[in-house]
Amino acid sequence: MVRLVPRRLGRLLGRRHLSAATADASEPGTGACCFPPRDAGLVSNVNFVAGTIMAGREVFPLFSAAALPPGTMLRQFPYLDAVQENAWFAFFAPLVYRDGDPRHHDSALLMQLPRSQGLAADPVFRVPAATRALYARPDFPEWRKRTHATLGPLLRPAPAVASAVETMLADLPAPRIGVHVRHPSHGVEQGLVLFADYFGAIDRLLDETPDASLFLATDTELALAAFRLRYGTRVRWQAEAVRSSIDDLLVWADAAARGTVDAMGFVDGVGHQTHYRLAAAGGGADGIRAGVEAATDLFTLARCDSFVCTLSNFTLACSYLNPDQRQILVAWRMV
């Protein structure tokens, strides 16, 4: 485990989000477009890409500093590396819209395409309140199937990620229960969610399927310790993934009690989630590693029969990657 310690506030002062104003004036537009990274989490970016595809555009993510407007500083997106021409390929397969389509590999071509920040996407892919409303719609099961029919063949893991997923699944006897536990600073989005909320939902599933295995995706060592104490050898996880230590969470809790927490969970301008810390450090190899781990979590969760979760970008992505997955939300609040 890489232990991530707090960084000084000064490292973050003056940094700004990549805003919608940087998108090409032709948006929403039609035709092929280049998608530079948004200043958000990896799976948030995936959902913006997915929504743009569903809006009828052939979109090509270009996860490269060269694709960003000059002077852009990323606070939430660390998944870039100077040695990666397009870091998307470290996490996901190239997007191929027709047989023999080579365009995604041509970064020079992508740099010439109109830019999109995904604003043409249906709000269900990019606005949390719309996502929440989608889950309450009577046609949501059919929406999942229709969306999967388009996106399933396109959004595929990179070879290294696919291999890691298969290795993980080989150690997870069916039926499989996936669980996603987020850093508690996500309380600004999901409200207070306790381990007891997860345990209650999981225990009810285990009453139905006593032989089920558990896969835990989490960015905190506290969640890992709690689940190991509760479920023992039944639970599996990515053993070497970057996570916040229990002491890191104590530092965050103390800072949150003393300071001001913004809508993204930053305390007095300092982000305590792992990808915030990595972004503050400039991403690089550690950022790529974290992206591979996030993509591995995503595709492993999507292969689970049931998914116990809060409403998040992971939850939405799994809903269309596996339209037959049973999703059990332990918290509905997402602002």
Our count of domains for the chain comes to 2
* 305, part of any domain: yes
Indicate if 274 and 238 belong to the same structural domain: yes
Instruction: Please identify every stretch of the chain with a pLDDT value under 70, giving residue numbers as ranges.
Output: 1-29, 183-191, 245-246, 249-250, 252-273, 275-283, 332-335
Do 142 and 186 fall into the same domain?
no
Collapse the DSSP code of 98 into the 3-class scheme (helix H, G, I; strand E, B; otherwise coil) and give the result. Answer: coil
d(CA 60, CA 52): 10
Q: In this structure, are 188 and 144 located in the same domain?
A: no
- Segment 166-171 long-range contacts (CB within 8 Å, at least 24 positions apart): 168/215, 168/236, 168/238, 168/296, 168/300, 169/300, 169/303, 171/236
What pLDDT is attached to residue 240?
A: 84
What predicted TM-score, i.e. pTM, was given to this entire model? 0.85
Task: Give the CA radius of gyration of the chain.
Answer: 19
118 and 168 share one domain = no
Q: What is the pLDDT of residues 278-294, one digit of tens each?
A: 655 666 788 899 999 99
* Residue 87, domain member (yes or no): yes
Please indicate, yes or no, whether residues 98 and 210 belong to a single structural domain of this protein.
no
The domain boundary residue, chosen from 122, 151, 180:
151
Cβ(214)–Cβ(175) below 8 Å: no
The answer for residues whose C-beta is within 8 angstroms of residue 203's C-beta and 6 or more apart is: none
Task: Examine the domain organization and report whether 101 and 214 are in the same domain.
Answer: no
Query: Side chain identity at 304, as an amino acid letter?
Result: C
**DSSP code, position 157:** B
42 within some domain: yes
**Residues 172, 143 share a domain:** no
Question: Both 33 and 130 in a single domain?
Answer: yes
Is residue 3, in this structure, part of any structural domain at all?
Answer: no
DSSP output for 236-301: E--TT---B-HHHHHHHHHHHHHS-B-TTS-BTTB--SHHHHHHHTT-HHHHHHHHHHHHHHHHHH
Q: What pLDDT sits at residue 335?
A: 40
Q: Is residue 80 domain-resident?
A: yes
DSSP 8-state code for residue 84: -
Which of 151, 186, 212 is the last residue before a domain boundary? 151
The backbone torsions φ and ψ at residue 213, rounded to the nearest 5 degrees and listed phi first, read -100, 160
| Contact status, residue 123 vs residue 52, Cβ threshold 8 Å | no
| pLDDT score for 249 | 64
Q: Would residue 1 count as lying in a domain?
A: no
Which of these three, 151, 186, 205, is where a domain ends?
151
Note whether 136 and 198 are same-domain residues.
no
Residues 191 and 126 occupy one common structural domain: no
Q: Is residue 29 part of a domain?
A: yes
211 is written with which tokens?
Answer: 């032989």
Query: What is the spatial distance between Cα 226 and Cα 152, in angstroms, rounded to a whole number?
Result: 34
4 within domain boundaries: no
Q: How far apart are CA 320 and CA 194, in angstroms?
A: 27
Q: Kindly state whether residues 126 and 215 are assigned to the same domain.
A: no
Range of the domain at 69: 9-151
Burial track 57-77 (b if 16+ CB lie within 10 A, e otherwise): bbbbbbbbbebbeeebebbbb
Taking a C-beta distance cutoff of 8 angstroms, is the pair 95, 88 a contact? Answer: no
Q: Do 97 and 170 fall into the same domain? A: no
